[in-house]
Structure 1
């Protein structure tokens, strides 16, 4: 069973765990993949037509897989991407302490989600990693580690989520900060950005105006628009 955790200072309303995947079969394909000897459940969303020949792995926040993330996945699929949304808690439950062994399991699950997309037929240079809150750290830190992701986006994350490792890779990164984030201090987000810039990672910081940590649908639409533009420049360019 997935662990549901209250975000610091509040509860992530409407975030659901694995049962969401079964209810999304009409638009999301249930799949599994192996990571560290554990089976990871996921939902896959595909473009209706030929698409961009590119893919995105999206890492959920601390409350598990919820409707906002699946809506975002459908938006990316409509924009031509193959999107996989794994339940990375399957790799290790969240006990709130998050020792290095747990973080390693989650990072590996993110990297293996990228490998699933590559095995599905996408070139590594056309696969990106993205995540929200806790998942922002999992996505970006994985992408800058041993993952083969070609670009990464972190939404509503920061140094206070978990201390990032020194980057091993220098791929494009975008950090989207919630302007009025009431869980992740803005100083922590900027510290994360400075950490990446000091390591020569090409990173850009953009702000979702008016957004708190738990965002409404209009703010998630802003996340999609900014993310789509970023990915289009880095992994979603038309062939040729």
Structure 2
């Protein structure tokens, strides 16, 4: 079982490139079994063919932390990378994980049964993006918490994924023993995370190194889960800057 628990002036200057209130443009759906799941596009203004990053939210969905995720979309699109928010949870997923009767153990047990399906949904989204006329052919994944596990799982399965960034996540235990490939990856994790222990992030990086991937691990001393949720924390601007520069370097054509 995965050891995952369900989950200013100077600062303003640091955050200024990423606090513009952007809004998603194009909306479309991808098929996931019998369901059709929405994808929202935050397009870069740069003309021509562009790389893309699929953003995978945590277990509570996008809406609860929408602004936190949008900061990353703002930063990526400002730097010429299209960001796509994939709402990967089906109605059954949402109902099961949000049930009042659920426990941490029951949620984690359910999640282990869904990683294959969620990874398939990510791959279907990759296919949709690569088929676009504005695609450069380079796609990365950015996952948070549960979304980080899904991103890592999908990146291990789908060699079309060119870069992987995981914040306070890891690799699903059932997938770890099967991994033969991972793209370049960066993992960011708070040392005081009580939802997803930092050992999970370290293990992901160790796994990446074992299969020859280029890896980077960024620990945040004293920081808990979701250390990048607030506009007023220096860790927010630091994490966004690191992730954005990583994707710029790895997805450039």
Question: Which interval holds the TM-score relative to the shorter structure?
Answer: 0.7 to 0.9
The aligned residue for residue 183 of structure 2 is 171
Distance 1:62 1:148 in 2: 25
Residue 146 of structure 1 pairs with residue 162 of structure 2: no
Structure number with the bigger relative contact order (C-alpha 8 A, sep ≥ 6) is: 2
Post-superposition CA distance 1:49-96 (Å, at most 9, x none): 327711000111011113111232122112211111111002850531
Post-superposition CA distance 1:112-144 (Å, at most 9, x none): 2222221223133x2101100010111122012
Residue 61 of structure 1 pairs with residue 58 of structure 2: yes
Question: Which of 197, 200, 222 lines up with 1:185 in the alignment?
Answer: 197
Distance 1:28 1:181, change over 3 A: farther
TM-score (norm 1): 0.79
The aligned residue for residue 128 of structure 2 is 116
Distance 1:29 1:168 in 2: 35
SS at match of 1:214: coil
Distance 2:132 2:226 in 1: 33
Deviates more, 1:129-138 or 1:64-73: 64-73
Residue 234 of structure 1 pairs with residue 247 of structure 2: no
The aligned residue for residue 83 of structure 1 is 83
The aligned residue for residue 140 of structure 2 is 128
Structure label with greater radius of gyration: 2
- What pairs with 1:5-20 in structure 2 (closer than 5 Å)? 8=5
| Higher helix proportion (structure 1 or 2) | 2
**Which blocks of at least 5 consecutive residues in structure 2 are unaligned?**
8-20, 97-106
Distance 1:102 1:177, change over 3 A: same
The aligned residue for residue 14 of structure 1 is none
- What pairs with 1:194-205 in structure 2 (closer than 5 Å)? 194-205=206-217
SS at match of 1:123: strand
Distance 1:193 1:170, change over 3 A: closer
State the 1:101 CA deviation: 4.2
Deviates more, 1:188-197 or 1:59-68: 188-197
**Which blocks of at least 5 consecutive residues in structure 1 are unaligned?**
1-6, 11-23
